[in-house]
Amino acid sequence: MLTYILRRILIAIPTLLLVSVFVFGLQKLLPGDPILVMAGEDRDPAVIELLREKYRLNDPIPMQYLYWLGDVVRGDLGISLRTNEPVLSLIASKLPVTIQLAIMSMIFAVLIGIPAGILSAVHKGTWVDWLANVVALSGLSIPNFWLGIMLILLVSVNLGWLPASGYESPWVDPVRSFQTMLMPAFVLGTGLAATLMRHTRSAMLGVLQADYVRTARAKGLRNRVVVLKHAFRNAVLPVVTLLALLFGELLAGAVLTEQIFTIPGFGKLIVDAVFNRDFAVVQGVVLCTAIGFIAMNLVADVAYVLLNPRLRTN
């Protein structure tokens, strides 16, 4: 298993290098000059030239990339041009918020999507299957920003059950933190649950037609045992991969949802950085997001091997 993990990590290194090239290169195409913003209203040519020398912007672009990559390898993602804070510190302050939102969203997605997919497959062609598909289609079709606004109007404004926006750290006030995260997590979780339900249903339909499932039924096992212990155990493999990819997507930051509920996570950080031409922050956030996706893919691969004895044998 350790050899397999090391091999997957070695395969991920070229991917990370390619991502770093794109991250560095694409930000050069963004309009605007951050140095002009830093120079202030006077824009003294001497100050502008000094700043360009300080940030090595007068060097050729390949050299700028090599300097930047060397700093990244040493754990230095640069300094925010807007706040003059280390980018790594900004990411460290925002990442726990996004992780909390992602975990709560995945809990909603799993609790809704997987049971709905199992029920839909077991009761194929019945009203249960029809209802589950309608709910899934609604979850895929309804925009997150619209659902978020409607929940704020209903739950916060009209009923006053939950706060409309804001964020509180769970280390400061766990109850308040849970309350502020409940609606945005539900908004994100319902969309993910729809995708999860469709994949679970498809996987279960294929497994329920297998010979070993028919054999289990012929032995007189209860339907719940056949479905959960025999069928779902084998159908869960592609679902695990999907869960890892969806979690990686959440780590990238739910931009619209975080903006609507004023959550200071990754999504809000990168939006503010783009608007302020804070290229160092954009580079750092996108690079960390890419690392998160690759890490979640690695987790999915390892989980696949652990759940499938045949892969362990190979």
Q: Which CATH superfamily is domain 92-276 in?
A: MetI-like (1.10.3720.10)
pLDDT at 37: 63
User: Is residue 79 helix, strand or coil?
Assistant: strand
Residues 127-184 pLDDT 10s: 888 888 887 777 777 777 788 888 888 888 888 888 887 788 888 888 888 888 888 8
What phi and psi values does residue 79 have, to the nearest 5 degrees? Answer: -115, 135
Q: What are the C-alpha distances in Å from 26 to residues 10, 63, 134, 224?
A: 25, 16, 40, 52
CA angle (152 as vertex; 146, 157 as ends), nearest 5: 140
pLDDT at 286: 82
Say how far apart CA 283 and CA 24 lie, in whole Å. 7
Q: Position of tokens 């696949």?
A: 304
What's the whole-model pTM score?
0.80
Which residues of the chain, if any, have pLDDT below 50?
A: none
pLDDT at 148: 83
pLDDT at 39: 64
Interhelix angle 127-141/174-208, rounded to 10 degrees, is 130
Residues 191-204 pLDDT 10s: 888 888 888 888 88
User: What dihedral do alpha carbons 30, 35, 36, 41 form, nearest 10°?
Assistant: 140
pLDDT at 43: 66
Residues 91, 77: contact at Cβ < 8 Å?
A: yes
User: Is residue 86 helix, strand or coil?
Assistant: strand
E strand or H helix that includes residue 104: helix 87-122
Domain boundaries, the chain: 92-276
